[in-house]
Amino acid sequence: MNPEVANCITKMANIQYKMGDYLQAIELQTKSVIIQEKILGYDDPQLAYSYSNLGLYYHQCRYWSKGFEYLNRAKSILQVVSGDDHPDTTSVILNLGLMYQDCDQFGAAISCFTESLYRNISLYGDTHFQVVQCYQAIAQAYYHQENFRMALEY
CATH 1.25.40.10 fits 1-82, yes or no: yes
- 3 pLDDT band, cuts 50/70/90, is confident
Q: Select the CATH number that applies to the domain covering 84-154 from these four: 1.50.40, 1.20.120, 1.10.3470, 1.25.40.
A: 1.25.40
How many percent of the chain have pLDDT more than 70? 100
Exposure string for 94-121, b = 16+ CB within 10 A, e = fewer:
bbbbbbbbeeebbebbbbbbbbbbebbe
How many percent of the chain have pLDDT more than 90? 95
Q: In the predicted model, what is the mean pLDDT of the chain?
A: 96
pLDDT tens-digit series, residues 23-51: 999 999 999 999 999 999 999 999 999 99
Sequence spans of domains, the chain = 1-82, 84-154
pLDDT tens-digit series, residues 69-91: 999 999 999 999 998 889 999 99
